[in-house]
Structure 1
Amino acid sequence: MTKKRRRPIHLHVMVSEEELALLRARMAEAGVRNMGAYVRKMALNGYVLHVDLGPVRELVSLQRRCSNNLNQVAIQANTYGGVYPQDIAALQKDYADLWEPLSDLLEKLTQVVEL
C-alpha cells in the first residue's frame, strides 16, 4: 500500500556550503526548523513572517485575571448585595493594564500589515 503524499513532486536544488550556512542562519532567525518548509515558503511567497507571541500570552494572562476578578465581584454582589469601592478600583486598574499592551500590540500588527 503506497502512502498518498500531499506534495508528490521532488525538487532538487544544489547549493554551496556558504549558501547552506546562510539558509540555516536565516531559518534560525525566522524560527523555522524544517528546511523544506522554509525553502518552499521563500520560493512561493518571498518571505517568512516570524511572529513573537510573548505579548499575546501576556494579554491572555491579563484577560484571565481581569475576568476572574470580575467574576469574584459579581459573586460578591449577588451573594451579599454590595460591592466594595476597592473591588471596583481593582477592576478598573486591571482593565487599564489590559488595554495598554493591547493597543501597543495592535499598533505593531498594523505596522506589519502595512509592509
Structure 2
Amino acid sequence: GSYLRKMALDGYCLHLDLPQLRRMAYLLQMCSNNLNQYAKVANENGRVYVADLEDLRARLDELISIGKQILSRLAEL
C-alpha cells in the first residue's frame, strides 16, 4: 500500500509516535466544545464569566506549550 509506495519513492518513511500530538488534539477538542458552551451561555444571558475565560486561557497556554515541544522534537529529526 502507501508504505511501499513511500519507500519506493523516497527510500524512507518516518513513523512518529508523539504523545503530545494526542494530548494536543484532545485539548483542541475540549477548547472547541467549551467555546461553543461559553457562546451559548453568553447569548442566553449576555454575560461572560471570568472563570470560564481563565479556564480557556489555561488550556490555550498548554496547547501553545505542547506545540512548541512538538516543533522542538521535529527539529531534532
User: Structure 1 length as normaliser, TM-score?
Assistant: 0.55
Amino acid at match of 1:102: G
- Unaligned 5+ residue runs, structure 2? none
Q: Paired residue for 1:96, among 45, 56, 61?
A: 61
- Unaligned 5+ residue runs, structure 1? 1-33
Q: Counterpart of 1:50?
A: 15
Q: Larger relative CO (CA 8 A, sep 6+): 1 or 2?
A: 2
Distance 2:18 2:65 in 1: 16
Q: Counterpart of 2:27?
A: 62
| Aligned residues between the structures | 73
1:48 Cα deviation from its structure 2 partner: 4.1
Greater radius of gyration (CA): 1
Distance 1:107 1:76 in 2: 38
Distance 1:48 1:70 in 2: 37
User: Structure 2 length as normaliser, TM-score?
Assistant: 0.77
CA RMSD in angstroms comes to 2.2
Q: Paired residue for 1:81, among 38, 46, 57?
A: 46
- The percent identity for this pair of structures is 35
Higher helix share: 2
